[in-house]
Amino acid sequence: MFKGLLLLCCLVAMNLGAFDAALACSSLRIKTEDGAVVYARTMEGAWTLKTALGIVPKGIAYQGTLPDGSSKGLKWIGKYGYVGMFDFGAPLVSDGMNEKGLIIGHLFFPNYVGYESYDPAKAADTIAQFEVGAFVLANFATVDEVRKGFASVRVCAGPVDPTVGPLPLHYVVHDASGDCIVIEHTGGKLTIYDNPLGVMTNSPGFDWMTTYLCNFGNLSAVNVPPRRLAGLTLNQYGQGSGMVGLPGDFSPPSRFVRMVALTQTAKPVLMPGSTWP
């Protein structure tokens, strides 16, 4: 049973031209008054992902893919079933939710990603970057379990499909309680960030995004009061003056700021069919 968390995905086709210009994704999480958690994301690109909705039962045997394309990596048996959006066919589940309400999203991370180097002696602990979603959904019930269990896994760059191109990815994970983390690989090292905001876009890395956010600490859902100067009173034009300065372009940092501002100021709502506690 998929409980306590709703998954929404939006695929948007944009005339952006080449593959490397179409790496745009935004994801967000909001919580309702009655404790439900809603996750949504966009995928904006000028190419088709050949996405198909799939259901994977528990008990499926997996084995990770190594950089040479062989299936001789990490082995596991799925503890949980899950539903997901599969791009270019299994096992690339770009977004999915398992029976415990755990969600993962793959988002593009160009120019900053740096996966762990491949070590043949650790092949049995290795998976490809496009298998992270399947690994997380099949094995873990909560974000805390992911934090603890992911540290022993090596994520390396898998083989590149010439029709698809490289897949520079980082990952956001949410659970039914609303807990959230971001998983990134840079410079050959794994970093897991707590993400209380529940928002994620693309590059640069998550730590840079939260630092950049400090430039917009003045944003507010409350209108700015009149400002009295020497001999002159400055009145605002109307509703929304507290959000003056909110970036409107589609760069990843601007999308990050915009999603944080909107989710943090949104009024909590009830899920359909729910009642006030």
Q: What is the pTM of this model?
A: 0.87
pLDDT at 117: 95
What's the pLDDT score for residue 8?
Answer: 53
- Omega of the bond leading into 204 within 30 degrees of 0 (cis): yes
Please give the chain's pLDDT, 277 residues, in tens: 344 445 554 443 333 333 444 568 999 999 888 888 899 998 877 667 778 899 999 999 999 999 999 999 999 999 999 999 988 776 789 999 999 999 999 999 999 999 999 999 999 999 999 999 999 999 999 999 999 999 889 999 999 887 777 889 999 999 999 999 999 999 999 999 999 999 999 999 999 999 999 999 888 888 888 889 988 998 888 888 888 889 999 999 999 999 999 999 888 776 665 544 4
> Going edge to edge, which strands form the sheet with 24-31?
5-13, 37-45, 24-31
5-265: CATH topology: Penicillin V Acylase; Chain A (3.60.60)
Residue 160: half-sphere exposure toward Cβ, Cα within 13 Å: 5
Angle at 88 between CA 85 and CA 89, to 5 degrees: 70
Q: Is 135 helix (H, G, I), strand (E, B) or coil?
A: helix
Active site residues: 25
